[in-house]
Amino acid sequence: MAVLARIVVICGVFAPLFSVKGQSNEHFTDTEPWDYYQRKTLDDCPRRFYPDPYKFLFFQVFGGKRAFAGEFKHMAAIGWTTAGGNIQYLCGGALISSKFILTAAHCAVNGEGNEPDTVRLGDTNLVEVEDDVTAQQIGIRSFRKHPEYRPSRKYFDIALIELETEAIFNDATCSACIWLGKDVPQEEMEAIGFGATGYGENLSPTLQKVTLSAVDKEGCTERVPVSKRQQPNGFVDEQFCAGSDHADTCEGDSGGPIQVERIDIDGSVVPLIVGVVSYGTPCSNGSLGVYTRVASYQDWIEQELQHPIDYVACTRTSTCTGRKFVHSKIHRPSDIGPIFRVGLLWDSTSVNAFECGATLIDYRFAVTSASCVQLKSLKPHSIILENTGETVGIDEIIIHPQYRAGKPLHDIALLKLSKFIKQDTNVLPACLSKKDSNETNIRYQSVSAFGTRYSNQELFKKDDFERYTIDIVPDADAVNGIQCENPEFSPNSFYCLNNSVNFIPTVCNMDYGGPVSASDILKNVPYLLGVVSKFSQNCGKDVIVVNVKEYIDWIESVVLDHTSERLIFQ
């Protein structure tokens, strides 16, 4: 009767076992610890699993601080060599790979009908020698205008310049990525170039920058004269306007970039090109510039470059050094240990450790979210250690009895494994604590996340993931962070961590079902504080956490109930 009652209450689900052929079980065993069935509480976790506080005192931090030598390393000056051997730089562009520069199609010829023949990189002063040591002068192999561009029209004003030799990335020269959002950023953007600093003035020999804001289509139409011959369809979605009360892009800035910056997981600041300078009103206070929206031409650019330019591909295959750097909250966890995060597996043909996460909390139990185990029509059959590929079958899935599919409350589940954690390895469970984080020696909480591994162009695979943690210091005036705004998120069952960072989109993903953990800085014991909720949007937004503390009594009632196991062994 006891076994039957347990199945009814905890909704046990049995799944088939799974193993990888030829794989050794380095961290798990079929043999239970000698006192496994005598254990009465999970409170003994620190002394049971972490008797030596110095064992895991060494940590590996993801990335390192990079030197910052130039503000706009992707800026290119496009030049025309005169008969006398001088070079006139009349257009700008942005380096988006080691071989290609993004610019405007109308920069294909100068006023005399001649094509540009050279590009200057890594130089912020075109008349002085101060940057000559780092500057690169590279010939142009081809100028590729968009196939639908017509000089008599203002549409499709975008082009790519193929360089004769690859640019060398260093502290002065580095590629940019493309802003691929459907909408233009509403924040202020920066436009850069060597153009005139005012109407009727000469081109600037030094690189200039100006801060501009996007203007909607209606405002653009009102302020920028439109020629029906040049723009029969008016302003189209592939264009946008930007300006300010005090400055704008001017003559000579054509083809140059307007951009925003986003932070990569290692803290490097990556420029994202939103548009290229097309044309505008005469340069003066309150003037307006018209820009070609680069995201509209992603397919064409990828076809010309013969490789993807999405955020992940661009940032993970770049060999840039010396970008600007800010402190990053994101780190790569130590390979030394302790390792307690595992992944869930559904498909034996695709061993992906990052579809959903879970946390080891005992010799043979892991905790995850109920929404994770119900993610697909079939239940997950195994857990996997992402760093070794070792898998262990799931014998039973226990969903919290009050959970209802699609609802946020009680989104927690337990996984009973087919094997036990071995003693004396770096795979160990995280402990549970009934105390609030402000009652312990905890400085910050680490939220489980993942992203694509850095690689070169030849070996790059978008689904080659590695694990990260986002380290967040909870608000001082809140017990476990900020209160979740959604009333469905009960203050007892959930808490939120305030996290607002302008990360590059898609390079970091939340590890739903994975751990929100913290280490006691005096005892070096990892504690599981929560489970990453599926309602958390991304790595740069507030994190919604299922509060494990509220479920410890239920967890113990399941983990420490060995009635059915004793019946089997008797």
Which one of the listed residues 27, 74, 146, 157 is annotated catalytic?
A: 157
Query: Rounded to an integer, what distance in angstroms lies between the CA atom of residue 296 and that of residue 94?
Result: 17
| Residue entry with tokens 């193929």 | 162
Across the range 476-499, mean pLDDT stands at 65
| Residue entry with tokens 């043909």 | 349
How large a percentage of the chain has pLDDT more than 90?
Answer: 51
Read off the pLDDT of residues 474-483 as tens digits, 9 standing for 90 and up: 764 344 445 5
Given phi > 0 = left and psi -120 to 50 = alpha, else beta, which region is 131? alpha
If one compares 493 and 516, the residue with the highest pLDDT of the two is: 516
Q: Which of 147-151, 224-228, 481-485, 499-503 comes out lowest in average pLDDT?
A: 481-485
Same fold yes or no, 75-309 and 326-569: yes
Q: Quick one: tokens of 38? A: 């005598």
The reported pLDDT for the residue numbered 351 is: 82
If one compares 520 and 466, the residue with the highest pLDDT of the two is: 466
The reported pLDDT for the residue numbered 246 is: 61
Give the alpha-carbon dihedral of 277, 91, 180, 162, to 10 degrees.
150
If one compares 394 and 565, the residue with the highest pLDDT of the two is: 394
Q: Which of 72-76, 251-255, 287-291, 379-383 comes out lowest in average pLDDT?
A: 251-255
Across the range 66-90, mean pLDDT stands at 80
Query: Rounded to an integer, what distance in angstroms lies between the CA atom of residue 45 and that of residue 517?
Result: 15
* Residue 202 scores a pLDDT above 70: no
Confidence of residue 1 (pLDDT cuts 50, 70, 90): very low
Whether 410 sits among the annotated catalytic residues: the reply is: no
Read off the pLDDT of residues 120-158 as tens digits, 9 standing for 90 and up: 999 888 877 666 788 999 999 999 999 999 999 999 999
The reported pLDDT for the residue numbered 61 is: 33
Average pLDDT, the chain: 83
DSSP state of 135: -
- The ranges assigned to domains in the chain are 75-309, 326-569
The reported pLDDT for the residue numbered 99 is: 96
Which one of the listed residues 254, 418, 433, 533 is annotated catalytic?
A: 254
The reported pLDDT for the residue numbered 463 is: 83
The reported pLDDT for the residue numbered 15 is: 36
The reported pLDDT for the residue numbered 197 is: 42
- Determine the 3-state secondary structure of 70 from DSSP: coil
The reported pLDDT for the residue numbered 63 is: 33
Q: What angle (nearest 5°) sits at the alpha carbon of residue 350, between those of residues 344 and 353?
A: 35
Read off the pLDDT of residues 156-190 as tens digits, 9 standing for 90 and up: 999 999 999 999 998 889 999 999 998 999 899 99
The domain 75-309 is classified under which CATH number: 2.60.260.20, 2.40.10.10, 3.90.950.20, 2.60.40.420? Answer: 2.40.10.10
Confidence of residue 196 (pLDDT cuts 50, 70, 90): very low
* Residue 545 scores a pLDDT above 90: yes
Please check whether residue 174 is in contact with residue 105, taking contact to mean a CB–CB distance below 8 angstroms. Answer: no
Read off the pLDDT of residues 409-447 as tens digits, 9 standing for 90 and up: 999 999 999 999 997 788 999 999 877 655 556 778 899
Whether 362 sits among the annotated catalytic residues: the reply is: no
Query: Rounded to an integer, what distance in angstroms lies between the CA atom of residue 259 and that of residue 169?
Result: 20
Out of 19-28, 92-101, 416-425, the most confident range is 92-101
Sequence-distant (≥ 6) Cβ neighbours of residue 382 within 8 angstroms: 17, 18, 19, 344, 345, 391, 392, 393, 394
Sequence-distant (≥ 6) Cβ neighbours of residue 176 within 8 angstroms: 74, 94, 95, 96, 257, 259, 270, 271, 272, 273
The reported pLDDT for the residue numbered 520 is: 76
The reported pLDDT for the residue numbered 350 is: 74
The reported pLDDT for the residue numbered 195 is: 56
Q: Quick one: tokens of 142? A: 């081809």
For 312, what's the count of Cα atoms within 13 Å in the CB-facing half-sphere?
14
Please check whether residue 47 is in contact with residue 525, taking contact to mean a CB–CB distance below 8 angstroms. Answer: no
The reported pLDDT for the residue numbered 59 is: 37
Out of 222-226, 344-348, 397-401, 463-467, the most confident range is 397-401
Q: Which of 111-115, 125-129, 218-222, 436-440 comes out lowest in average pLDDT?
A: 436-440
Read off the pLDDT of residues 286-327 as tens digits, 9 standing for 90 and up: 568 899 999 999 999 999 999 999 999 999 988 787 788 888
Query: Rounded to an integer, what distance in angstroms lies between the CA atom of residue 292 and that of residue 240?
Result: 7
Out of 17-21, 46-50, 315-319, 354-358, the most confident range is 354-358
Q: Which CATH superfamily groups domain 326-569?
A: Trypsin-like serine proteases (2.40.10.10)
Residue 314 phi, psi dihedral angles, 5° rounding: -65, -50
The reported pLDDT for the residue numbered 374 is: 93
Burial track 457-466 (b if 16+ CB lie within 10 A, e otherwise): eeebeeeebb
String of DSSP letters for 176-231 = -EE---SS--SS-EEEEES-BSSTTPPBPSB-EEEEEEEE-HHHHHHHS---TTT-
Confidence of residue 284 (pLDDT cuts 50, 70, 90): very low
The reported pLDDT for the residue numbered 464 is: 87
The reported pLDDT for the residue numbered 368 is: 98
The reported pLDDT for the residue numbered 125 is: 81
Read off the pLDDT of residues 24-70 as tens digits, 9 standing for 90 and up: 558 999 999 999 988 999 999 999 998 876 666 543 333 333 223 36
Query: Rounded to an integer, what distance in angstroms lies between the CA atom of residue 96 and that of residue 310?
Result: 12
Whether 216 sits among the annotated catalytic residues: the reply is: no
Query: Rounded to an integer, what distance in angstroms lies between the CA atom of residue 66 and that of residue 68?
Result: 6
String of DSSP letters for 301-370 = HHHHHTS--SHHHHHHS----S--B---SEEPPPSSS-B-EEEEE--TT---TTSSEEEE-SSSEEEE-H
Residue 419: Cβ-neighbour burial (10 angstroms; 0-12, 13-18, 19+): buried
Across the range 453-473, mean pLDDT stands at 85
Across the range 360-386, mean pLDDT stands at 95
Closest CA to 163 of 212, 93, 220, 223: 93
Query: Rounded to an integer, what distance in angstroms lies between the CA atom of residue 229 and that of residue 93?
Result: 27
* Residue 109 scores a pLDDT above 80: yes
Which one of the listed residues 27, 74, 106, 381 is annotated catalytic?
A: 106
- State the DSSP H helix or E strand holding residue 155, giving kind and residue range, or none if neither: none
Q: Is the bond preceding 16 in cis, omega lying within 30 degrees of 0?
A: no
Query: Rounded to an integer, what distance in angstroms lies between the CA atom of residue 174 and that of residue 170?
Result: 7
Distances (CA, A) of 2 to 11, 417, 559: 14, 21, 15
